[in-house]
Structure 1
Amino acid sequence: MTVSFNFQSSMNKRRKFIQMTAVLGTGAFLPFQFCTTKKEESSQTEALLGAAKGILDDFGIQLYSVKENMAEDPVKTIQAMASYGYTQLEGFDGGKGIFWGMANTEFKSLVDDLGLAFIASHANTFENLEEQAEKAGAIGMKYLICPWVGPQKSMDDFKRLAEAFNKQGEICKEHGLRFAYHNHGYTFDELEGQIPQDFLMENTDPDLVDFEMDTYWVYTAGKDPIDYIKKYPNRFTLGHVKDKSADLPFDEPNGSTLIGKGLMDFPAILRAGMDNGMKYFIVEQERFDDTDPMEAARRNAAYMKNLVF
């Protein structure tokens, strides 16, 4: 959200939440005669809720969700994301750098003209970080994110990663942005009697290192995203909104689906996130059933625009 929750944005969200609470409260005390049939009651409730739809003023998309389209025509693809209602972009390096072959200022002009904010990008933070951070900070990006380190052989390896993340956080901070690590499922698998994700969170400096929770991978690893959000308040400042299909085996790694069509309770997850320091809510989908990636991006945006929690 250009979302470092500014005061006005925060107040807008609170007003919507209060409005929703008021609507539900009013419905609870409607005289019996005004609810003569269940159909009429449902219609009245829908009408009341219609005015209160949509808590999130801003939400984004991880462009990896439409990676083939980005490879073919990044400008046209980004224009489409704006038309769907996304207000933020999270990028990735598709082989031409995080600015897709453009200068950082050129890329910023593109997204600015569309009313979008390029808040963050996944990047190889182990190479050329100084240069990447300088260019990202110069155009007002908020984050560079390490998206993957892979399973490690020992906790000593995770200790070295924690130290590396602190150093990468220092470099990002020098250029006016933040560093974050994006989890997969492997950091939630016990190793030498410890949970690596917990170790990383407890052995990195909160002043230098944030985390992007991929809710899908937390859930697929058999953990509760809400429990983790509450266990480490203000550390998960970004969240991937990615649903898990109910039609596939639970342990299927490539099992994402349209948001709201799967197993995950996003109203509850995002409420917990918002209450515990999560500032950016980023749609991601990597598997597609009855639709293509662009149509999925459009439908996911519609879900996010109407989300009430």
Structure 2
Amino acid sequence: MTAFTASRRHMLFGAAALLALSGCKPAPSAAPASDSAAAKTAIDAWPVGMQLWTVNAELAKDVPGTLKAVKDAGYDVVETAGTQGKTAADFKTLIEAAGLKARSAHTNMPKLIENADKEINDALALGVEWLICSSPQTPAPLPAGSDWIVGMTKAMTADAWKMNAEHMAKIAPLVKKAGLKFGYHNHPMEFKDLGGGQTGYDILMSAGDASLIRAELDLGWVAVAGLDPVATMKKYADRLDLLHIKDMVKDDKQPSGFRSTEIGHGMIDWKPVFAAAQTLGVKNYFVEQEPPFLKPAIESLKESRAFIARL
């Protein structure tokens, strides 16, 4: 597995355009009080996880030192987003030397189409349980210089999602045969109404039953898409294994009008989210924050970890 390109994750800059296209507005989460009262703390219920994309810039400079800083910030498990040019086996060694464990690995549909066996073998070498497709294949390359979210929203028609679903239907059994779980990670465009209430996300989930295709819901992007995080978790409960714990705040200085921020500083009410996650049997969560950062990424991770400890 190789490192992802910057366009893979520079999605904040087009989220507002997606909202305009979809006509949606972010909605607050809600959950029954009984769920919240019954929940263990977020620390007790799961190992504390984080998505390594949060520190991708730091990893590019110093892999061992950055992984140690992640551990020192209070995290136990990680989800990979590439291997910083190293073999998967070597990257696993570095992760474990820092006292961390890789539990999930991100890839994307173009890589899976090109060489699914390599992506599967890399995931096995990392020692993870889940291989997650983080983004779809477009019918044609996006126009040069286009915003990723805007371009993807325009490109991903119903037919484009169906094309990706066809690939998923072929890839998911291969992943399962290898002893891994295959899942999909969303952005906002998956939830755009394509007509008659049909969404790209539902098209993708139709590619296989819950034994083949699992869900990793990125709740920050769910909220930006105008959906309620808890309601969305419950809708896909039969597939839901993993969560991206990502918070968003309105920021008029950003082209999107939104900025990723520390957990607890944004638009999502996290207590009902974690209560629902426990009730629904979520297996793990990964804190993720994306650039631009207003402070060093490790400091942001520490703040997010401290907030989760108080839940």
Q: Shared topology, TM-score over 0.5? A: yes
The structural deviation recorded for 1:307 is 3.7
CA contact (8 A) 1:244 1:264 kept: yes
Q: CA RMSD in A?
A: 2.6
- 1:176 is displaced (CA, Å) by 1.4
**1:153–1:62 CA distance, 2 compared to 1 (3 A):** closer
1:115 equivalenced with 2:118 (yes/no): no
User: How much does 1:116 deviate?
Assistant: 1.3
Q: Look up the SS of the partner of 1:237 in the other structure.
A: strand
Task: Count residues with an aligned counterpart.
Answer: 255
Identity of aligned residues (%): 32
Matches within 5 A, 1:94-173: 99-123=83-107, 124-149=111-136, 150-151=152-153, 152-173=155-176
Shift of 1:247: 4.7
Q: 1:134 to 1:290 in 2, by over 3 A?
A: closer
SS at match of 1:55: helix
The CA distance in 2 between the partners of 1:57 and 1:270, in whole Å, is 10
Give the 3-state SS of the residue equivalent to 1:245 in structure 2.
strand
**Matching residue's letter, 2:260:** S
2:247 to 231, 234, 243: 243
CA distance in 2, matches of 1:21, 1:92: 35
CA distance in 1, matches of 2:221, 2:255: 10
Deviations 1:27-61 (A, max 9, x none): xxxxxxxxxxxxxxxxxxxxxxxxx7843441211
* Aligned residue in 1 for 2:27: none
Tell me which of the two structures has the higher relative contact order, counting C-alpha pairs closer than 8 angstroms and 6 or more residues apart: 2
What displacement does 1:270 show? 2.0
Counterpart in 1 of 2:13? Answer: none
1:55-70 residue pairs with structure 2 within 5 A? 55-70=44-59
Moved more, 177-186 or 152-161: 152-161
The C-alpha deviation readout for 1:108-165, integer Å capped at 9, x for no partner, is: 2222233311111211323222022123224421122111124344322222212211
Structure 1 residues 127 and 289 mapped into 2: Cα distance closer, same or farther (>3 Å)? same
The aligned amino acid for 1:291 is K
Deviation of the 1:86 alpha carbon? 0.6
- Structure 1 length-normalised TM: 0.75
Give the structure-2-normalised TM-score.
0.74
Question: Distance between the aligned counterparts of 1:117 and 1:252, measured in 2?
Answer: 34
Which of 187, 190, 197 does residue 190 from structure 2 map onto?
Answer: 187
| Cα distance change, pair 196–250 in 1 and its aligned pair in 2 (3 A) | farther
Letter in 2 for 1:142: E
Structure with the greater alpha carbon radius of gyration: 1
1:81 aligned residue (47, 61, 70): 70
Structure 1 residue 83: Cα displacement:
1.0
Structure 1 unaligned residues grouped into runs of 5+: 1-19, 23-51, 94-98
Tell me which residue corresponds to 1:206. Answer: 210
**Residue in structure 1 matched with residue 23 of structure 2 by the alignment:** none
Query: Structure 1 segments of 4 or more deviating over 4 A?
Result: 246-251
Secondary structure of 1:127's aligned partner? helix
Q: 1:92 aligns to what?
A: 81
- Distance, in Å, in 2 between the alignment partners of 1:286 and 1:59 is 18
Distance (Å, rounded) in 2 between the aligned partners of 1:173 and 1:89: 21
1:133 aligned partner, one-letter code: I
> 1:272 maps to what in 2?
276
- Per-residue CA distance 1:240-275 (angstroms, 9 max, x = gap): 101111454999365211110111011211221222
User: Are the aligned partners of 1:62 and 1:90 in contact in 2 as well (CA < 8 Å)?
Assistant: yes
Residue in structure 2 matched with residue 285 of structure 1 by the alignment: 289
